[in-house]
Structure 1
Amino acid sequence: MNVPPSRVPVLEWAGVSARRLERSSLAVPGTATGPADVVARLCGAHAQVLSAAELSVGLRLSDITRDGVRDALWRDRTLVKTYGPRGTVHLLPTQDLPMWTGALSALPASAGNGRGGVDLLSPQQTEEVIAAIADALHDAELSADDLTEAIVERTGPWAADPVMEAFQGKWPCWRTAMDLAANRGALCFAPNQGRKAAYTSPHRWLPGFTPTEGNAALAALVKSYLYAYGPATPQHFARWLAAPRRWASELFASLGEEIQQVELAGERAWVVAGDTEVPAEPARGLVLLPYFDAYLIGCQPRELLFPGAAAGRALAAGQAGNFPVLLVDGQAAGVWHQRRAGKKLFVTVEEITPLTAVQRKELDAQVERVGEILQGRTELTLGKVAVGPHA
């Protein structure tokens, strides 16, 4: 995979940033055709908080509200809510679910992807739980409590032992296998039942669904990631996916001529083979990105996306996504926060560098767009964001 320096294309940050913004449908005008297309371009939309995912998708389309994202998810089923990168809840395109399940189920365990923590189930118990989940959800939508009962019926009372640390108590131990069950294609989210989360089988979303073979799925995922966020290194990919670095390096090496080296900011990185063209003009424009927006998580190097003071203000111990970000001309230029009170959305934007008059008008338009997507009336304040990360 090593290429002589004279043959390695050198890409400048300005062009790479502009290309990433175009491919993420953040450039104006955006080119995405609908929610599923947006999510495919992003390689998944983080949806631990669904309203953040709705905003991520809506900001990349000109004529959609949160209802349109929900329709794509629950009515049209062109999106599926399930466990994705880093063992966290994501929206994924239904048509790409075979690739995602094939790739994620082939990941080695690590502390960040949900399968490297405390081992509460034996390997045999894990397999029993996954088989029970698949059987119980084959043609049903069940709340977590109902699914617990169904799993216990198929395995035994041990599956309900409340030993898994949770937000406000302890969950039954079977839930330690939930993300692995989702990665294998046995489980995805269904519409909430009242205020309770519910689950079903992705086979109901995608008739004939079968996970792609692991090696082929991983190769496809690497190329999707590089197309969206390249140039990138195996270490960047490992961090994005929460996978071991050595494993990621070996995976990149196995792809041979399907990917190629380039140079960015004095470092070697990889793109899909032949994908070295960048726009002639640098990125322009202003956008408000919500918590854990995929663009913030996927783009590397961090020091170019979060230059200078932005690193100290918009990152949390080097981690992106914990703060909503004001992105100006492709770089973090501030943080923001929105608080809802009934139909009113109070938006506070903290600039790192004062905005120009033109950028101020763009900000007004962005805040108005946020209100359209989240279906509320907005009120903008420029000032200090007082809440901490992930508030």
Structure 2
Amino acid sequence: MTTASRRMLRMRLAAQRISTGKLTSPADVVRWMTAMQAQDFNGARWAVALRTDSATQRDMDHALASGTIVRSWPMRGTLHFVAPEDLRWILGLTTERLLRQATTRLSSLGLDERQIETARYAAIDALHGGRSLSRMELYRAFERGGVSANQQRGYQLLWILSQTGTLCFGPPDGNTQTFALLDDWVPTYRQLEGDEALGELARRYFAARGPATIRDFAWWASLRLADARRGLAVARDDLELTEFDGAEFFHEAASEQGADGIRLLPAFDEYLLGYQDRSLQLDGESLGDLVPGGNGVFPNTLVVDGVVRGTWRRPSRATSVEVTPFEPLKPRAEAGLRRPAREYARFRGEKHAEVVVTG
């Protein structure tokens, strides 16, 4: 790895608050990151907590139950954590394009505008007054309203009603995720639109994930490249430019170089999923080792000095962390596994964390 590559990785680790500059609360992390991929619910809670000083799984659950973090589909058609005040203006930037992309899928399921609006009214009727319901309870509400929820139709209805600002995830009911009306669950919010909103999104993206390219930003935010460039133009005075490997990378002027180290990141962490081009973090042929078959399902990752060097898991009903490196680890790296394993155990409320290296 070159000196320039190492510097880029250190800057990303620092910008993402993985290596340095840890934040106080889960809400602070999500606000800093603007949106954090969250379709893997357990992994997403760890993704937020590892960027704080000492947040636990219980702290994460409290943040979700109190509404200081909200879960919805703001971009790329996948679930994210967002700060409540940010959800509506982000949807305002992404919804139109995502709905166009979903036209064929909705049509294949027989979901036309009339049925979608019928489902919307059924959801409003079932949830008004601050109520929250599980996914299956909402499916039954759709059925009572005359709209079938079979064959993925229910999931698509939840997605489109969330994408268009009617629904969002509400307070968890134990291990069950619920839905609520966005107007009830998030009554106050920021009002941004047009170039102001594009500039805000660009500034925050490059501050929290830089150095990154304009194509990284456009992909992450579900924006047309032209709109991404408009946002960058608005935010440009707050950012610095670094040229690397023939491309332009933008980052916050105050970016620091974070320390190297060993880290256990969850599946779908923003350290990988925050960029269209992941070649810096995935050195050489490691993408094939990480995602065999290229199916887009990212596992938990072992990161050594900013580069993905393996995977890890927590075996069922065990307090150990099982690490599978792509290649044998050097003694320093293997010894360095103990600290992130202890941090993960603390997050889960466990007192011990044994590390088992396999492969």
| TM-score relative to the length of structure 2 | 0.84
- In the alignment, structure 2 segments of 5+ residues that lack a partner are none
User: Greater strand percent: which structure?
Assistant: 1
1:225-283 CA-to-partner distances (Å, cap 9, x unmatched) read 22222343443234334x4xxx62111233463255945433333536xx45654x564
TM-superposed CA distance for 1:110, in Å, is 6.0
What percent of counterpart residues are identical? 26
SS in 2 for 1:22: helix
Q: Is this contact kept in 1: 2:84–2:189, CA < 8 A?
A: no
Equivalenced residues, count = 350
Distance 1:232 1:23 in 2: 11
- Equivalent-residue separation in structure 2 for 1:115 and 1:192 (angstroms): 31
1:160 equivalent among 133, 145, 148? 148
1:264-275 superposed matches below 5 A: 264-269=243-248, 271=250, 275=252
Q: 2:76 aligns with which of 83, 86, 89?
A: 86
1:15 aligns with 2:7: yes
> Is the contact made by 2:196 and 2:234 (CA closer than 8 Å) also made in structure 1?
no
Instruction: Give the corresponding residue for 1:202.
Output: 182
- Alpha-carbon RMSD across the aligned residues, in angstroms, is 3.0
1:17 counterpart letter in structure 2:
L
| Counterpart in the other structure of 1:347 | 321
What residue is the counterpart of 1:36 in the other structure? 27
Which of 282, 286, 290 aligns to 1:310? It is 286
Deviates more, 1:220-229 or 1:329-338: 220-229
CA contact (8 A) 2:106 2:112 kept: no
Q: Residues 209, 262 of structure 1: CA spacing in aligned structure 2 closer, same or farther, 3 A cutoff?
A: closer
Greater helix proportion: 2
Change in Cα spacing, 1:144 to 1:324, as seen in structure 2 (3 Å) is: closer
SS, match of residue 123 in structure 2: helix
Rate the CA distance shift 1:146–1:355 in 2: closer, same or farther, 3 A.
Answer: closer
CA contact (8 A) 2:24 2:53 kept: no
Give 3-state SS (helix, strand or coil) of 2:323's partner: strand
In the aligned structure 2, how far is the partner of 1:193 from the partner of 1:32?
A: 27
Are the counterparts in 2 of residues 314 and 320 from structure 1 also a CA contact under 8 Å? no
Separation in structure 1 between the aligned mates of residue 270 and residue 208 of structure 2, nearest angstrom? 10
Distance 2:30 2:230 in 1: 27
Give the letter aligned to residue 201 of structure 1: L
Hey, what's the Cα distance between the residues in 2 that align with 1:179 and 1:217? 23
Partner of 1:24: 16
| Change in 2 beyond 3 A, CA 1:118/1:321 | same
Counterparts in 2 of 1:162 and 1:278: CA distance versus 1, 3 Å: closer
Q: Which amino acid aligns with 1:305?
A: Q
Give 1:316 shift.
4.3
Aligned to 2:38: 47
Distance (Å, rounded) in 2 between the aligned partners of 1:196 and 1:33: 27
Q: Quick check: 2:199–2:235 contact (8 Å CA) kept in 1?
A: no
Q: Which amino acid aligns with 2:132?
A: E
Give the Cα–Cα distance (whole angstroms) in 1 for the partners of residues 183 and 175 of structure 2.
24
User: Conserved in 1, the CA contact under 8 Å of 2:301 and 2:310?
Assistant: yes
TM-score (normalised: structure 1): 0.78
